[in-house]
Amino acid sequence: MSQQMSQQPKKSPKTIYNFSAGPAMLPPTVMQAVRDEWLDWQNLGVSVVEVSHRSPEYAALMTQAEADLRVLLSIPDTYHVLWLGGAARMQFASIPLNFLAHGQQAGYWVTGTWSELALAEAQHLKKAYCIANAQDSGCAQIPPQSEWRFEDNTAYVYYTSNETVHGVRFAEVPKPTKNIPLIADMSSDILSEPFNINDFGLVFAGSQKNIAPPGLTIVIVHQDLLNTALDGPIPTMLDYRIQAAHQSLYATPPTFSCYMAAKMFSWIKAEGGVGVLQQRNHAKAQCLYDLIDASSLYHCPVEKPYRSWMNVRFNLRKPELEPLFLEQAARAGLRALKGHKQVGGVRASLYNAMPMEGVEALTNFMCDFARLQS
Ligand SMILES: *Cc1c(COP(=O)(O)O)cnc(C)c1O
């Protein structure tokens, strides 16, 4: 056998960049670490998904995870961190059920699919109104402050910091006029850039965009807001005070997603923290938007100041080419670029785990595709 043949390297699999909006990609080093300890976690001879959520090992894991999250987001002790099972959308119900008393109402900024659904659920259960509605502009921008309208007896105001479907973000935290608690759905941009938790009464995020596999929703709630929670009737599992009193162990938590979240927090710490990720995320999004804006084929429907850094949405000026674009992209290893069915077009989700190389692979492909069509 020739030297060359016997040393034939193992063929490395083709690099795939996964632009899925959620469940989304996680860092390869995190996935490898999980694989390596999958069958034997902490020398217990069993997997992390086979141990009790009341075991000392799991308790230590969660103590560390919470400590890491508090450092990463500078969360003071005046806030509770809750690790809840269920989808992010469950909070759409929990929030009004916990905080909206009879005779009160809540105000919602409607800037896309997720805030629209949150308002609808609040109205289904209690009384809520729209502070401003971006749907008139096709959610191409966040309505200016001059159009915001607050009503009397407002118990809290609510917004979605990043609209995952429409690719729109609040560039600044919307501060209510009076001292009304602010609540934010940060499901698709938590940990992508620093924010000041002290501006908020409550922040929540589903895990499957920027944190872990689905099944976990993290709720960060100020103790003063928690103290105003209603005495009922609230389904026990949705009662924030009960979850806080039981350290999120009232029922079995989604242990695997919590474990993955812990791994992700360690990864973010090792990368240099949320500030480092912010710079990276901005550079990634800017790279893609620059190409879109310079191109005669691609077009971003969102106005510049409001463009999401996490979910870059764009269209082809020749819409009939979109299926071909998506098909060729998939063949080039660029997967899950199809826009949400509500808005169509193309969407590239660039969460923390997406490396710059993935964005460059996408922009190179887009340049080649545009050149062949012109
Ligand atoms: C994905 C998403 C949701 C819904 O998440 P589920 O866990 O499926 O309920 C809510 N809000 C935002 C901003 C999202 O991106």
What per-residue confidence (pLDDT) applies to 101? 96
In angstroms, how far is the first alpha carbon of the chain from the final one? 50
* Ligand 1, atom 2, residue with closest C-alpha: 187
Q: Which of 83, 126, 185, 309 is catalytic?
A: 185
239 belongs to the catalytic site: no
pLDDT-derived band at 10 (thresholds 50, 70, 90) equals low
Find, among 264, 305, 269, the residue nearest to 285 by Cα. Answer: 305
CB 22 within 8 A of CB 209: yes
Average pLDDT, whole number, for the chain? 95
pLDDT tens digit sequence for 95-106: 999 999 999 999
pLDDT tens digit sequence for 135-187: 988 999 999 999 999 999 999 999 999 999 999 999 999 987 678 999 999 99
Please list every protein residue whose CB sits less than 6 Å from any atom of ligand 1.
Answer: 22, 87-89, 114, 160, 164, 185, 187-188, 206, 209
212 by Cβ neighbours in 10 Å (0-12 / 13-18 / 19+) ranks as buried
Strand order in the sheet with 346-349: 298-299, 311-316, 346-349
| Averaged pLDDT for residues 216-220 | 98
What per-residue confidence (pLDDT) applies to 7? 56
* Ligand 1, atom 3, residue with closest C-alpha: 88
CB 195 within 8 A of CB 220: no
CB 39 within 8 A of CB 366: no
